[in-house]
Amino acid sequence: MQLYLDFVLAHPLLFAALAGVVLLIIANEVHGNLTGGKRLSIPEAVRLINDREPLIVDVRAVADFKRSHLLNALNIPLAKIDERVTELGRDKARPILIYDALGSSVGEAADKLKKLGYAEAYPLRGGINSWLGASLPVTAK
């Protein structure tokens, strides 16, 4: 323990930088929870897919969607959600799982869908990259 204390005293700028990074990570998580609602982890998303058959929406660009996407996903780029909302169907109580590449813009998409009256819009934490990282299936069809 004394070594840690000696390090902090010898390198206060490094310690301050570490504290700043930790605070930014915490602030990012809190901001995501306050603005985008609950972000589903991979196991939670798989459970949602298996139990409740949500509508799966990919908000990436069309070219990225064509390379690979989750099974049965519908591609509606983030900028076109308002225009193409009719493609989501009339059942506004059906859950919607939303994902992008990294999970960075799905909170905005979830907010838009909630404002349009969809009761359950869940962003996927980490996007398709975390899905692929968990070795789960994707398709290019």
Residue from 131, 116, 102 nearest 32 by CA: 102
Q: What is the pLDDT of residue 32?
A: 64
Topology adopted by domain 38-133: Oxidized Rhodanese; domain 1 (3.40.250)
* Least reliable range by pLDDT among 21-35, 54-68, 70-84, 122-136: 21-35
Say whether 139 sits in a helix, a strand or coil. Answer: strand
Task: Find out whether 124 and 133 touch, Cβ atoms under 8 Å.
Answer: no
pLDDT at 55 over 70: yes
Angular region, 50: left φ>0, alpha ψ -120 to 50, beta rest = alpha
The whole-angstrom distance between residue 19's C-alpha and the CA centroid of its chain comes to 25
Say whether 122 sits in a helix, a strand or coil. Answer: strand
Which is more confidently placed, 93 or 34?
Answer: 93
* Least reliable range by pLDDT among 25-29, 44-48, 84-88: 25-29
Residue 121 CB partners (closer than 8 Å, separation 6+) = 37, 95, 96, 98, 109, 110, 113, 114
CA distance 47 to 122: 13
